[in-house]
Chains A and B, each alone.
Chain A
Amino acid sequence: MPKKELKKMKIDEITQYFMNKTTKQNMKIIRAIDYLIIENFEEFEKDLKYVIENKKEEEIKRAFESKIWKSKMMFSKADRVLVFNRINKIRDLGEILARKMLLYRVVFPDEQFKNDIKEILELLKTVLLDLASAVKSIGKDLEHSYEVSQKIKNEHLKLRNKAWELLSNLYNYEMDFLSRTFLYLKDLIEGIVFLADEAENFAGYLQFLATKYLIFE
Chain B
Amino acid sequence: MELTSILIIILVIMGIALAFSIGANDETLSALVGANITKFKIALIIGGIATGAGMIFLSKEVAKTVGENILGEGINYTDFMLLAVLISSIIWLIIGSFAGIPLSSTHSTIGSIFGVLIVYSLSQGGVNPSTVLNYEKLSSLVISWFLSPLFGFLFTYLFFKILSKFFLSHLKGMNQIEKSERNFSWLLLISVIFAEVWVGANSAECIGLFWGLKDKGSLTIEDYYFFVVICGIFVFLGIFTAGRYVIKNLASQMTDARPSEGFIIQISSSIILMVCTLLSLPISHSHVIVFCILGLNAGQKREIDYRGLGKMAIYWVLTFFIAGILGGMIYMGFLSVSLI
Residues of A in contact with B (beta carbons under 8 Å apart) = 12, 72-76, 78-80, 137-143, 209, 212-217
A143's nearest neighbour on chain B, judged by CB, is B172
What's the nearest-Cβ distance from chain A to residue B255, in Å?
8
Q: Is the CB of A75 within 8 A of B258?
A: yes
Residue numbers in B under 8 Å from A212 (CB-CB): 256
B165's nearest neighbour on chain A, judged by CB, is A217
Residue numbers in A under 8 Å from B171 (CB-CB): 214-215
Residue numbers in A under 8 Å from B185 (CB-CB): 74-75
What's the nearest-Cβ distance from chain A to residue B241, in Å?
27
Residue numbers in B under 8 Å from A217 (CB-CB): 164-165, 169
For this complex, 18 residue pairs linking A to B, each with C-beta atoms less than 8 Å apart, are A73-B182, A74-B35, A74-B181, A74-B185, A75-B258, A80-B174, A140-B173, A140-B175, A141-B172, A141-B173, A142-B172, A142-B173, A143-B172, A215-B164, A215-B169, A215-B171, A217-B165, A217-B169
Cβ-based interface call for B242 (8 A): no
What's the nearest-Cβ distance from chain A to residue B328, in Å?
50
What's the nearest-Cβ distance from chain A to residue B176, in Å?
7
Bound CA span A94–B76, Å: 82
Cβ-based interface call for B168 (8 A): yes
Interface of B is mostly: helix
Known: A78-B255, A142-B174. 12 other contacts (CB 8 A): A72-B182, A73-B178, A73-B182, A74-B36, A74-B185, A76-B174, A139-B175, A141-B172, A212-B256, A213-B174, A215-B171, A217-B165
Residue numbers in B under 8 Å from A80 (CB-CB): 174
What's the nearest-Cβ distance from chain A to residue B207, in Å?
36
What's the nearest-Cβ distance from chain A to residue B31, in Å?
13
Residue numbers in B under 8 Å from A137 (CB-CB): 173
List B126-175 residues whose CB lies under 8 Å from chain A.
164-165, 168-169, 171-175
List B241-272 residues whose CB lies under 8 Å from chain A.
255-256, 258-259
What's the nearest-Cβ distance from chain A to residue B195, in Å?
20
Q: Is the CB of B176 within 8 A of A140?
A: yes
Residue numbers in A under 8 Å from B169 (CB-CB): 214-217
Interface residue count on the B side (C-beta < 8 Å): 23
Q: Is the CB of A213 within 8 A of B175?
A: no
Cβ-based interface call for B37 (8 A): yes
What's the nearest-Cβ distance from chain A to residue B238, in Å?
28
What's the nearest-Cβ distance from chain B to residue A112, in Å?
45
Contact A75/B172 with A217-B164, A217-B165 known, Cβ cut-off 8 Å: no
Bound CA span A212–B171, Å: 13
Bound CA span A215–B259, Å: 14
Cβ-based interface call for B304 (8 A): no
- Give the 7 A-B residue pairs with the shortest CB-CB distance, closest first: A140-B173, A75-B181, A215-B168, A139-B175, A217-B169, A76-B178, A139-B173
What's the nearest-Cβ distance from chain B to residue A13, in Å?
11
Cβ-based interface call for B42 (8 A): no
Residue numbers in A under 8 Å from B168 (CB-CB): 215
Bound CA span A73–B174, Å: 11
Select which of A75, A141, A143, A209 is within 8 A of B178 by beta carbon. A75
B37's nearest neighbour on chain A, judged by CB, is A74
- For A12, A74, A75, which residue has the most chain B Cβ atoms within 10 angstroms? A75
Cβ-based interface call for B101 (8 A): no
A12's nearest neighbour on chain B, judged by CB, is B175
Contact A75/B173 with A215-B164, A215-B168, A217-B164 known, Cβ cut-off 8 Å: no
B168's nearest neighbour on chain A, judged by CB, is A215
Bound CA span A127–B172, Å: 23
Cβ-based interface call for B177 (8 A): yes
Residue numbers in B under 8 Å from A140 (CB-CB): 172-173, 175-176
- For A12, A79, A217, which residue has the most chain B Cβ atoms within 10 angstroms? A217
Residue numbers in B under 8 Å from A215 (CB-CB): 164, 168-169, 171, 300
Bound CA span A209–B175, Å: 13
Bound CA span A76–B171, Å: 14
Q: Is the CB of B177 within 8 A of A213?
A: yes
Bound CA span A142–B35, Å: 22
What's the nearest-Cβ distance from chain B to residue A146, in Å?
11
Residue numbers in A under 8 Å from B175 (CB-CB): 12, 139-140
Bound CA span A76–B255, Å: 10
Residue numbers in B under 8 Å from A139 (CB-CB): 173-175
B185's nearest neighbour on chain A, judged by CB, is A74
What's the nearest-Cβ distance from chain B to residue A68, in Å?
13
List B317-337 residues whose CB lies under 8 Å from chain A.
none
